[in-house]
Structure 1
């Protein structure tokens, strides 16, 4: 089993690095050349359909509001995000995607959909179920690690 663990570790590292590299190259060679992977994931964290508070988005992205503010300032300058304060409580800042931001969101979503489609191409139904089950178990494991790391602070 030790050989299997080494192989799986190598595959995890390669997959993670390859996905990030492919995402970066896709952004840099496509219509979204002016944004980084981190900015794209911030756009994804904001979402398509409703205004969200800075606090909500920061929590979803597991970053501080200060870190998010820096990212949002850059995305506003680039035309991807709008920000406003609510009249009832001027401390609450709402953000939402502009048309350009929504286009970026959709293009990134298409990238992920294409990646998944190509990954499962050629798998039969049983193989697809096994892959989903395995990925779900891996996801649960990593979610548990995130929680336990957060408790150490």
Structure 2
């Protein structure tokens, strides 16, 4: 690895770990300390306004419906989510956020909004454009690698 690659690697690992730690601390010290990071991300995937199927949410989270069922059961017990089967097809399970779940969603959304505002505070428009462009390229690379590795796994 050359010097730039070494620095970039170190920064990416450090940023990833710090983001997880900051998010974890914000949850544990906030009004929703009974939620894990995984649970708040499940709430985020369910969304605010319309009921969603278990399959849709599982797909968005890139987990199985069985794994999501376990998570949703915990969130139901904690009163963040409700679940119901639709009458037309009893196999289809719809989930939605409760009032408490929507509040958790909004608080988490504000946490991310504040974090982004702090991140770009003090940089000019050109630097912001470069940051966005760089992160889009990085995201595209990781998305490509993820799909490439999943395709290889499926073909085995």
Alignment TM class, shorter chain as reference: over 0.9
Question: 2:114 matched to 1:147?
Answer: no
**RMSD of the TM alignment (CA)?**
0.8
**Which residue is equivalent to 1:93?**
93
Residue 115 of structure 1: how far off its partner (Å)? 0.6
Residue 60 of structure 1: how far off its partner (Å)? 0.4
Which runs of no fewer than 5 residues in structure 1 stay unpaired?
none
**Which residue is equivalent to 1:124?**
124
When normalised by structure 2's length, the TM-score is 0.97
- Give the Cα separation in 2 of the matches to 1:41 and 1:124: 31
Where 1:135 maps in the other structure, the secondary structure is helix
**Which residue is equivalent to 1:27?**
27
- Give the Cα separation in 2 of the matches to 1:140 and 1:98: 34
Question: 2:69 matched to 1:45?
Answer: no
**Which residue is equivalent to 1:54?**
54
- Give the Cα separation in 2 of the matches to 1:105 and 1:150: 30
- Give the Cα separation in 2 of the matches to 1:92 and 1:149: 30
Question: 2:106 matched to 1:112?
Answer: no
Which runs of no fewer than 5 residues in structure 2 stay unpaired?
none
- Give the Cα separation in 1 of the matches to 2:101 and 2:143: 28
- Give the Cα separation in 2 of the matches to 1:148 and 1:48: 32
**Cα deviation 1:80-100 (Å, max 9, x = unaligned):** 000000001100000000010
Residue 57 of structure 1: how far off its partner (Å)? 0.3
Residue 149 of structure 1: how far off its partner (Å)? 1.4
When normalised by structure 1's length, the TM-score is 0.98
Residue 48 of structure 1: how far off its partner (Å)? 0.7
**Which residue is equivalent to 1:75?**
75
Runs of 4 or more off by more than 3 Å in structure 1?
none
**Cα deviation 1:7-66 (Å, max 9, x = unaligned):** 000100000000000000000000000000000000011011100000000000000000
